[in-house]
Amino acid sequence: MNNKRKLENDDDDDDDEAEQSPKSPLCVKRRQVIHDHSYPAYQPPKVYPVDILHFENRLHPNNLDVMVQTPNSRYKLNGFEEYSDDIFHHKLRIEKLYQPLHCLQNQPQINEMLRVILVRWLTEIHQKMNLCQETLFLSVNIIDRFLARMVIIPESLQIVGLTSLFIASKYEEMSSPTIIELLTCSEMTKVDRVLMQRLERIILKVLSFSLGAPSSLYFVEHYAAIDMHNSDAIHIGTYKKSLALCRLLLELFLQDYQLSQFKPSLLALCTWLLLTISDDDHQQRYISFIPEEYRDDILFEDCLDKVNQQLQKSLPPSTPNY
């Protein structure tokens, strides 16, 4: 009899613990929706048009000179220059595996504008934390790949974005910020860090822990290195300024859902060609840069046209033509 009462008491304790335990994980299988109200409702920042306003100060010629004086040496293959072509071909081969096409197609409540707001907000957090540029690119790639596989609601979008930035910083940074630092910087201190830890495990499991996505930053560095290697000393400075401007524009293009449908190698090449070539010799340069097995002339023309339209809308009239 005592044993029976003890078992009943244990069952009651288990029920109490179940009632007090956190709700189900944020993420579930496709066609189910993520629900969790343990953090504040999503409050989007002020919406700006997708243009260069956010980058006007960074695009000032004096700031470009500073960027050129302290170039990013991330892709310098010190001692491994002979393998640069093999590395380039390898990244061309695998970039399709990491490119989420139409990631919003199966999202009933997430649209392109919400994605723009999220990426702009992440960019602000990224700059406040003084993280490397590659971290932001990987964060957006993680978000898009996650949205392509899971259905979420708008209230969960902000915490998904911040967790993606946390994962990317672990992968890219020498010293990544802690969860508390990210929550404090983003003014989301009411969010339980255990929630982010759970979501981090879910995102990594959904992505199969595969984070080595080639970014457009690598490809534009590669194209710029080729052009600078083949040019004379007079034009080196011009190419360096064009590279600095191109890196900022590619960061801006992260917000554009339509441009995200193009492969990073193609997007980087079109941006680089439009900034460095003043004539109509784009097709010939495309052939010289991209191996035949990876070419798609129709896709190249489409990407070139859309990037050109975005540049016309984005670049301030005072921006010098490099």
Q: Tell whether 198 and 225 lie within a shared domain.
A: no
Q: Tell whether 189 and 231 lie within a shared domain.
A: no
Per the structure, how many domains does the chain have? Answer: 2
Q: Tell whether 145 and 183 lie within a shared domain.
A: yes
User: Of 149, 182, 211, which residue constitutes the final position of a domain?
Assistant: 211
Alpha-carbon dihedral sign for residues 169, 171, 174, 175: positive
- Which pLDDT tens digit goes with each residue over 29-83? 333 333 343 433 434 333 333 333 444 444 444 444 434 433 344 445 555 677 8
Asked, for residue 306, whether it belongs to a domain, the answer is yes
With CA atoms as reference, report the closest residue to 36 among 52, 25, 50.
25
Place of tokens 């006007």: 56
Q: Tell whether 133 and 170 lie within a shared domain.
A: yes
Q: Tell whether 193 and 248 lie within a shared domain.
A: no
Instruction: Look at residue 79 in the predicted model and tell me its pLDDT.
Output: 56
User: Of 143, 176, 211, which residue constitutes the final position of a domain?
Assistant: 211
Asked, for residue 94, whether it belongs to a domain, the answer is no
Q: Tell whether 111 and 201 lie within a shared domain.
A: yes
Instruction: Look at residue 161 in the predicted model and tell me its pLDDT.
Output: 95
The pLDDT profile of the chain, 322 residues, written as one tens digit per residue, is 444 444 444 445 444 444 444 443 444 333 333 334 343 343 433 333 333 344 444 444 444 443 443 334 444 555 567 788 888 889 999 998 998 888 999 899 999 999 999 999 999 999 999 999 999 999 999 999 999 999 999 999 999 999 999 999 999 999 999 999 999 998 888 888 899 999 999 999 999 999 999 999 999 999 988 888 887 777 788 888 889 999 999 999 999 999 999 999 999 999 998 888 766 677 777 887 888 878 888 888 898 889 988 888 776 655 544 4
Residues 6+ apart with CB under 8 A from 286: 269, 273, 295, 297, 300
Q: Tell whether 136 and 197 lie within a shared domain.
A: yes
Asked, for residue 16, whether it belongs to a domain, the answer is no
CA 255 to chain centre: 9
Asked, for residue 64, whether it belongs to a domain, the answer is no
User: Of 169, 189, 211, which residue constitutes the final position of a domain?
Assistant: 211
Asked, for residue 73, whether it belongs to a domain, the answer is no
Asked, for residue 13, whether it belongs to a domain, the answer is no
Written as six digits, the tokens of 91 are 């990244």
DSSP conformation class of 58: T
Cα–Cα distance, 122 to 116 (Å, whole number):
10
Q: Tell whether 186 and 221 lie within a shared domain.
A: no
Written as six digits, the tokens of 311 are 């540049």
Place of tokens 């990407």: 303
CATH of the domain at 112: 1.10.472.10
- Give the CA count within 13 Å in the CB-facing half-sphere of 193: 9
Its domain, for residue 109, covers 103-211
Which string of b and e fits 159-192 if b means at least 16 CB within 10 Å? bbbbbbbbbbbeebeeebbebeebbebbebeebe
Q: Tell whether 270 and 308 lie within a shared domain.
A: yes
Asked, for residue 199, whether it belongs to a domain, the answer is yes
Asked, for residue 234, whether it belongs to a domain, the answer is yes
Amino acid at 254: L
Q: Tell whether 263 and 179 lie within a shared domain.
A: no
